[in-house]
Chains A and B, each alone.
Chain A
Amino acid sequence: MKSFDAIVVGGGMLGAAVSYGLARARLRTALVDEGDVAFRAARGNFGLVWVQSKGDGCPEYAAWTRRSADDWAEFARELKDRTGVDVGHSRKGGFDLSFTEEDLRQREGLMTRLHDQAGGAFRFEMLDHRQLSELLPGLGPGVVGGSFCPLDGHANSLYLLRALHTAFQGLGGAYFPGSAVTRLAAKNGAFEVETGYQTLAAGRVVLAAGLANRDLAPQLGMEMPVHPLRGQIMVTERVRPFLDHPTAHVRQTVEGGLLLGDSKEDVGFDDGTTAPVMKEIARRATRAFPFLKSARIVRAWGALRVMTPDGFPVYARSAAYPGAFAIACHSGVTLAAAHAGPMADCIVGGRLPDDVAVLGPERFHAA
């Protein structure tokens, strides 16, 4: 049996970020990853580092999001220094576009609530069509207005996943691919993690296995009520840069390709694509930017987001088995800096950050 200071189960965006943070804190860390047969939400990201719209009714989540977004530039620099991988982070502010006056009114309501609950730490502007047109070239006449948040940014999520894995292994972290976990057990204050190939042991274990957390977490006395929510994304050919800011539905990568997305479907464990949803995504994208009608789509995919009952992250610390943690969220890119930083640093000390004290699974049982 191989022994470590910590074992992280799940090599996606959450698991890789926490593993990197633990290895950076000099814990001998094992990262156990199911492999390419897994429902990899981390391969289907849109790549937003997004603050606006996060945490309505949960100021702690909104603040946790802002903290991560604020740390992102330094986080990206550090990954570049360690791995040479440029994750393409930029933070010039982002837009959410409204197509009807009613949508725009609702958007302003949401942004105002976020501003009020954050006591001014959340900043935004509401813009009309004319103001938006000055910032977003080729904006369609169907866009009546939108919100702008200077705290928003974006990054290449595939490079991010690669950089995290590379940095983790560069720090001496042990990566176990193709290793679905078959059993978890607590023995004499330590944890055993069985895969098809080997048994690993450590004093700390972090479950970051996405949708599989639902079944894994109860084995160590935690609950993790996650369910799949499918998102479909289309990518266009690379075209010359024209869109300096990401929007919630369309963003241009540093390489020039356009990502079109933000569909939400409750279809169980089906990660395929469908023509009606792709058609709707294309319709919305070309309403926002009519000239995109001549852009060629080169790829499309579906991915299963990890969704929680209230949409906010769940961070669990096992009361029955101290040293065991389970984490899940649907914003793995935005929160990557927080997961690699304060989250990992606190787990080293056997606890969760105070920032996320209200984000445990107990909240789903509150009267």
Chain B
Amino acid sequence: MLRRIAPQGGIAGVTLYFEGAAVTVPAGTTVAAALLQAGAASFRDTAVTGSPRGPYCMMGVCFDCLVEIDGQPNRQACLTVALNGMRVERQRGAALLDPKAGEGA
């Protein structure tokens, strides 16, 4: 299990919302680190079998930390810096692209 080893004191905090719950972390923290600190073990359900997955590599390679951020699906939580007011949701299965979204383009 991944855990934070850097000290937290003395740094200004930012607050994001994970599944509606406020999570406050030091500025510069990634979304993945913030969610782990909040106790989340799994961030998403896989696109094919719906199995739970959480961060593995924390460096942008494994794509197992995918979440929905401010309505955008499949964002890599480990490569995204947490910002005040961010709305983060679990990525549940494959993202839905709407074929009608391109009509009239």
Pair from one complex: yes
Most buried by B among A141, A239, A295, A298: A239
B side interface size, CB within 8 A: 17
Task: Flag B64-105 by CB within 8 Å of A: 1 or 0 each.
Answer: 000000000110000000000000000001111111111101
User: Is the CB–CB distance between A138 and B100 below 8 Å?
Assistant: yes
Are B94 and A238 in contact (CB-based, < 8 A)? yes
Query: What does DSSP make chain A's interface, helix, strand, loop or mixed?
Result: loop
Cα A241 to Cα B63 in complex, Å, equals 19
- A residues 170-215 near B (Cβ < 8 Å) are none
Chain A, interface size category, equals 20 to 34
Considering only CB atoms, which chain B residue lies closest to A292 in the complex? B97
Number of contacts between A and B (CB, 8 Å)?
Answer: 56
Indicate whether B2 reaches chain A with its CB closer than 8 angstroms. Answer: no
Shortest beta-carbon distance, B48 to chain A, in Å? Answer: 5
| In the assembled complex, B47 has its CB within 8 A of some CB on chain A | yes
**Chain B residues near A294 (CB-CB < 8 A):** 97, 101
Are the C-beta atoms of A256 and B48 separated by less than 8 Å? yes
**Contact check: which of B48, B95, B96, B103 meets A255 at CB < 8 Å?**
B48
**Bound form: Cα–Cα A289–B73 in Å:** 19
CB-contact partner of B98 in A241, A254, A291, A296, under 8 A: A291
Residues of A within 8 A of B102 (CB): 138, 140, 286, 289-293
By a CB distance below 8 angstroms, the chain A residues around B103 are: 138, 290
| Other-chain residue from B47, B98, B100, B101 in contact with A256 (beta carbon distance below 8 A) | B47
Residues of A240-296 at the interface with B, using a CB-CB cut-off of 8 Å, are 240-242, 254-256, 286, 289-296
Chain B residues engaging chain A, CB cutoff 8 angstroms: 47-48, 63, 73-74, 93-103, 105
- A residues in contact (CB < 8 Å) with B: 137-138, 140-141, 237-242, 254-256, 286, 289-296, 298
Q: Which 6 A-B pairs have the closest CB atoms?
A: A290-B102, A138-B99, A291-B102, A238-B47, A137-B99, A290-B105
